[in-house]
Each structure stands twice: as C-alpha cells, then as structure tokens.
Amino acid sequence: MRTIHASLQEAEDTIGKVDARVILCDVLGVDRAFLVANPFHLLTETQDARVDMMVTQRQMGHPVAYLVGRREFYGRDFAVDANVLIPRPDTETLVEAALARLPNDECRVLDLGTGSGAIAVTLACERAQAKVVAVDASAGALGVARANAERHGAGRIEFLEGSWYSPVAGQRFDAIVANPPYVAAGDAHLGEGDLRFEPASALTDGSADGLGSIRAIIDGARDHLVDNGWLLIEHGYDQASAVASLLEAAGFNERESVKDLAAIPRVAIG
Ligand code: GLN
C-alpha cells in the first residue's frame, strides 16, 4: 500500500502536479490541505487501484474533469460528463458581462445551448429575481444541467429541449446569453487535448467559418429580445470582428467586445 506522498509522486511524474492532486482528492474525498497535512496517510487497496486507473485514463488523454465528474465554474462546483462541454474560465467573462447588465429585480434571461448549465445556474444563483430559461438540443446535456440546477438551489430554471429558439417561439427576454459551438469545421484544435473527448456538437456546427450557430442566434435575437435587451455571445479567438459585423447588420446599435483572462476578445455584446 502507498502513502499519499508516494502516490502523489508517482502520479505527478506521468500526469503532472495539478491533475495528480485533483485525482487524489477525488478518490480520498478530501481537500488539498489534507494531502499536504497528511503525507504518510495510507491509501486503502481500493483507493490505490482507483488512483492507478484514473491516472492511466488521464495519460490516455481523458479530461480530468470527466474522470472526477466535476469542474469549478464561477466559484461553484458543476457536475460534468461526456454529454457536456467542460466549463472554461473564459466563459466566466461572459457571466460577468451579463451580471453587469442584468437588473437586480425581475428579468427574463435565455441561455441558448446551456450544456452543463454553468451559465444559466450561475446567473440564476447570482440574480434571485431572474427568470432563467435554458435551451439545449441534447437531452443528455439537459439531464446534467437539471442536476446542477437542483444542486445549487436553482430549481426554478426552466429547461427546454430543442434547437436554439425553437422551444421559445413567441417569447421575449431581457437578455440572451450563449456559448455556442464556434470552432471551424476541420480546425486542428478539435483533434487536441480535452476537445477530443468533448461532445462534437458543443464545439462545432460543421460550418467552415465556425459562425453558423452564432449567425442563427444573432438572426433570431430580433424576435426574442425586448427593446434595449442585451445579447451576449462567446466566440472564437479570431471571430470578434466577424461577430461585430453580424451584430451591426442585425441592427444592434450599441456593440461591445470583452476580452477573456488571456486578453483575447471572447464575448460580443449587442
Ligand atoms: N472555447 C472552446 C475551445 O476552443 C470552444 C468552446 C465552444 O466552441 N463553445 O477550447
């Protein structure tokens, strides 16, 4: 049997410090401080075998978030599995921009392509008066999103299955938010890292410029926003000017672009 110290050292050599710690914490059901404070704590045989299995899977490329079944987003823990895109810190930029614009009193918010529900649940938690509707075309994703809503006391979110605006025909919102698929078809990025294991439909819609879904969302916004409502869309690192042109063509008279933590333009606001 191995100690925490030995187990960590071995795992670190193959998958690096950060992932090794995440896996050990998950298997032992402890936090990082426990690992540091108890280097000579012995793992049980079952825990030992489980760590080995997860380290092997990580070595094979499986995202650590799928292995442990969760990822932190905007200070909350979200359940994730292979039905949903793993929430990225970049998307916290979109959440911040939306929160800066949402009123504190009653308002209606639509999240298109909710996936794990990270955006919808965060907005519902941060704005208790907001009525949030979350749409996804994937029943599997909606199952994960519903579980996340329950877990964070955001059970009032209305989840609807369907493509973009189809489940909310005739409804209008104060804000529409979306992190749609935007990776261009054939982008080499799709064959790298975590993206190889994430749902393809969350990453790319098959359009050559990656803008197919963003176009559909901007086109439909006119019929689904109230006057002076906000549209906030996450986009790819090289799509800011294309998305700004689409917003202008659709008649959004006020437009803004927000950069992510890496200083890359990431969110278009109209
Ligand atoms: N930001 C993701 C990536 O390139 C893509 C997410 C998306 O298409 N919405 O890793």
Is the sign of the CA dihedral 242, 243, 247, 250 positive or negative? positive
Distance CA 144, CA 160 (A): 13
**Which residue has the least CA distance to atom 9 on ligand 1?**
181
- 161 and 191 in a single domain? The answer is yes
- Whether 65 is covered by a domain: the verdict is no
Is the pLDDT assigned to residue 263 strictly greater than 90? yes
Q: Distance from the CA of 183 to the center of ligand 1, in angstroms?
A: 6
- 28 and 156 in a single domain? The answer is no
Number of domains in the chain: 2
Is the pLDDT assigned to residue 1 strictly greater than 90? no
Is the pLDDT assigned to residue 150 strictly greater than 90? yes
With a 6 Å cutoff on the Cβ, whether 181 touches ligand 1 is yes
What's the pLDDT score for residue 103? 84
- 19 and 84 in a single domain? The answer is no
> If you average pLDDT over residues 181-205, what whole number do you get?
97
- 243 and 112 in a single domain? The answer is yes
- 52 and 77 in a single domain? The answer is no
Distance CA 46, CA 69 (A): 19
Is the pLDDT assigned to residue 62 strictly greater than 90? yes
Q: Distance from the CA of 156 to the center of ligand 1, in angstroms?
A: 28
> If you average pLDDT over residues 182-197, what whole number do you get?
96
**Which residue has the least CA distance to atom 4 on ligand 1?**
183
Using pLDDT thresholds of 50, 70 and 90, give the confidence band for residue 81: very high
Q: Distance from the CA of 214 to the center of ligand 1, in angstroms?
A: 13
- 239 and 141 in a single domain? The answer is yes
**Which residue has the least CA distance to atom 10 on ligand 1?**
195
Among the listed residues 164, 231, 241, the one whose alpha carbon sits nearest the alpha carbon of residue 201: 164
> If you average pLDDT over residues 188-192, what whole number do you get?
96
- 109 and 153 in a single domain? The answer is yes
With a 6 Å cutoff on the Cβ, whether 182 touches ligand 1 is yes
Q: Summarize pLDDT for 18-30 with one digit per residue, the tens.
A: 999 999 999 999 9
DSSP category for residue 206: S
Range 245-263 burial, b when 16+ CB lie within 10 A, else e: ebbeeeebeeeebbebeee
* % residues pLDDT > 90 (the chain): 98
- Whether 86 is covered by a domain: the verdict is yes
- Whether 215 is covered by a domain: the verdict is yes
Are 169 and 104 in contact, with CB atoms under 8 Å apart? no
SS3 at position 234: strand
Distance CA 216, CA 162 (A): 14
Using pLDDT thresholds of 50, 70 and 90, give the confidence band for residue 259: very high
What's the pLDDT score for residue 253? 87
Query: What is the predicted ipTM?
Result: 0.93
What CATH number has the domain bearing residue 103? 3.40.50.150
- By residue range, what is the domain housing residue 121? 70-269
With a 6 Å cutoff on the Cβ, whether 183 touches ligand 1 is yes
What's the pLDDT score for residue 40? 97
Q: Summarize pLDDT for 92-120 with one digit per residue, the tens.
A: 999 999 999 998 889 999 999 999 999 99
Pairing of strands 265-269, 76-79: unpaired
Q: Distance from the CA of 134 to the center of ligand 1, in angstroms?
A: 19
- 123 and 190 in a single domain? The answer is yes
- 144 and 166 in a single domain? The answer is yes
- 35 and 114 in a single domain? The answer is no
- Whether 81 is covered by a domain: the verdict is yes
- 27 and 96 in a single domain? The answer is no
The pick from 85, 138, 235 for probing ligand 1's pocket by mutation, whose C-beta has the most ligand atoms within 8 angstroms, reads 85
234-to-11, 88, 161, 190, 214 alpha-carbon distances in Å: 35, 11, 21, 18, 9
Name 168's Cβ contacts closer than 8 Å, sequence gap at least 6: 110, 133, 135, 160, 224
- 168 and 48 in a single domain? The answer is no
pLDDT averaged over every residue in the chain: 97
- Whether 209 is covered by a domain: the verdict is yes
Among the listed residues 244, 266, 241, the one whose alpha carbon sits nearest the alpha carbon of residue 254: 244
Please identify, among 60, 84, 107, the residue that sits at the C-terminal boundary of a domain.
Answer: 60
Query: Relative to the CA of 234, which ligand 1 atom is closest?
Result: 9
In sequence order, the β-bridge partners of residue 133 are 110, 158
The two three-digit tokens of residue 250, written as one number: 């659709």
